[in-house]
Amino acid sequence: MGKQTMKHYDVIIVGGGINGCGLLRDLALNGAKTLLIDKGDFSSQTSQGSSKMLHGGIRYLENLDFGLVKEALEEKNLWLRLTPHLCFEREFYLPLYRYSKHAPWMLQFGLYLYDFLSHFQNKPHAWLGAEDALKKMPSLDSKGLKGAGKYFDGIVDDAKLALECLYDGLIEEGNEALSYHEVIKTTQLQNGYQVDIKDLFTGEIFSNTCEFLVFTTGPFTDTLLPKLNIPWTPQLVPSKGIHLWLKPDTIKTEGSIVLTTKDNRVVFVIPQRDSILVGTTETQVCEEIFNIQAQEKEITYLLNVLQQYFPHASINRDSIISTFAAVRPLAKEESSNQNLGKVSRHHKIYRPTSHTYVMIGGKYTTFRRMTQELAQEIVPRLGLRYKPNLTLNPLRQHSVMPTFGKKPELSLEMVKKIITTERVKTMEDLIRRRLSMIESTEGLDTIMGIPLEDIKPLLKR
């Protein structure tokens, strides 16, 4: 491959998670020529490590964070309308025991408030007595059970929503996205930046320029920006969370379950993708965070929670299909609050130099509002008129393989189409984020019946 010609973009975004992909889409729809760069695959870090929910965050009501909950519920219901192929609404049950800190009337008031903040766009909540609750959740511990609240939230393929935002933005002419490329140097110019980029497959180094440089690098922000000589004081409180995928017959339940642990954590039990998703933890980060993995003690913690609430179910290590982990890039607050569960999920936008922006914090569900706040500042500075309603339109390029419902039989022709139209560079990209498979890939020699040896030649980088 020959030396690349230097290109100029209005904006270069570093970090291809949900915020980077959402921002590229917003900027591109508003006429800003944008380049997105990620060191790995798009949506391969924090944005694929969520609890796979679009939700208001019912537990944030306890923090009196009504504005955030209202905004998140509005966004949840927007994406349920815009992307029904990527998300769906389902019931959540919140069991209440004699030892629970909230009385039934308090829970019912909270559920009413949740529906009120959604402008009553949620399906209506309900209260179930103990007997009815056990009919819906047969595996649940009946000892001391008072009943359960029922409310509704969304289930989503988090990685694919980010990817389809990216595809939608790239339909607009003059925009580009590079995975497995690393920004190794930034040089401030009179009206912008020169950005030196390394292709991690070929080792080639090339440069592009831009008027505005934006970092949506999540938990990597505090370590990356000083390396690139961007003025920066650490602003993050990194929080690690892990999840388990369990075999579908492990827990008998007709809906999702919200468990409040003795240490005041919230653990979700969510049937989906012919399995059960369980998570999450919230701990300080003590290891390398790129491609972070679940540790044994964290897995044991979640298994112990499940064994406490479902004592008659056979839940052990053999119940686990696979695990995953991610790091939340929580923004520091003024107070010295060390309770990670209480740290605000609000986002923050910084401007370290006149041509640099940094976004940290926030919730997955509110990414469109977060990136809109930034886009509506950048676009006018480019001499363009910002149109806020463009991101309310449906996404125009859908993934070849659906996540939910009945999946078509995978063929080699489908694999070719996925690789050529969905920016696949590695087998991991294909398996985890384009086919949405949850099984362990260790020792894998076929994908949905197709030999890996037939697929490998298609992965031209």
Q: Measuring CA to CA, how many Å separate 375 from each of 11, 151, 367, 379, 460?
A: 10, 34, 12, 6, 34
Among 363, 359, 393, 356, which residue's Cα sits nearest to residue 30?
Answer: 393
Residue 346 forms part of a structural domain? yes
Cβ atoms of 360 and 348 closer than 8 Å: yes
Element (H, E) at 22: helix 18-29
Burial pattern 126-148, b for ≥16 Cβ within 10 A else e, equals ebbebeebbebbebbbeeebbbb
Say yes or no: 302 and 347 in one domain. no
Say yes or no: 241 and 149 in one domain. yes
Residue 57 forms part of a structural domain? no
For residue 62, give the 3-state DSSP assignment: helix
Element (H, E) at 88: strand 87-97
Say yes or no: 262 and 213 in one domain. no
For residue 301, give the 3-state DSSP assignment: helix
Separation CA 381–CA 377 (nearest Å): 7
Report pLDDT for 1: 43
Report pLDDT for 302: 96
User: Domain boundary residue among 331, 349, 382?
Assistant: 331
Separation CA 107–CA 291 (nearest Å): 38
Say yes or no: 312 and 173 in one domain. no
Could you please report the per-residue DSSP string of 112-139? HHHHHHTTT-SPPPEEEEHHHHHHH-TT
Residue 398 forms part of a structural domain? no
Residue 56 forms part of a structural domain? no
Say yes or no: 327 and 350 in one domain. no
Residue 296 forms part of a structural domain? yes
Say yes or no: 229 and 110 in one domain. no
User: Domain boundary residue among 331, 348, 380?
Assistant: 331
Could you please report the per-residue DSSP string of 31-47? T--EEEE-SSSTT-SGG
Residue 309 forms part of a structural domain? yes
Q: What is the pLDDT of residues 297-338, one digit of tens each?
A: 999 999 999 999 999 899 999 999 999 999 999 888 765 455
Element (H, E) at 82: helix 66-82
**Residue 364 CB-density burial (10 A; 0-12 exposed, 13-18 middle, 19+ buried):** buried
Structural domains of the chain, count: 3
Cβ atoms of 130 and 146 closer than 8 Å: yes
Q: What is the pLDDT of residues 221-259, one digit of tens each?
A: 999 999 999 999 999 988 999 999 999 999 999 999 999
Going by the DSSP 8-state scheme, the letter that residue 365 receives in this structure is G
Say yes or no: 256 and 369 in one domain. no
Residue 165 forms part of a structural domain? yes
CATH (domain of 267): 3.30.9.10
Contacts for 262 with CB less than 8 Å, ≥ 6 apart? none
Say yes or no: 314 and 361 in one domain. no
Among 36, 376, 13, 68, which residue's Cα sits nearest to residue 212?
Answer: 13
Say yes or no: 317 and 184 in one domain. no
Token reading at 44:
């391969």
Separation CA 144–CA 99 (nearest Å): 8
Say yes or no: 208 and 344 in one domain. yes
Say yes or no: 100 and 139 in one domain. yes
CATH (domain of 356): 3.50.50.60
Which structural domain range is residue 360 located in? 8-47+159-235+340-392
Say yes or no: 93 and 205 in one domain. no
User: Domain boundary residue among 331, 352, 372?
Assistant: 331
Mean pLDDT by 10 residues, the chain (461 residues): 80 97 98 98 94 91 87 96 96 94 90 94 95 97 96 97 98 98 96 97 97 97 96 92 96 95 89 94 87 94 95 94 93 62 73 96 94 97 97 97 91 96 96 93 88 91 61
Cβ atoms of 114 and 125 closer than 8 Å: yes
| Helix (H), strand (E), coil (C) string for 236-283 | EEEEEEEEEEECCCCCCCCCEEEEECCCCCEEEEEEECCEEEEECCCE
Q: What is the pLDDT of residues 124-142, one digit of tens each?
A: 999 999 999 999 999 999 9
Residue 377 forms part of a structural domain? yes
Please, what is the Cα angle at 296 between 290 and 301, to 5 degrees? Answer: 110
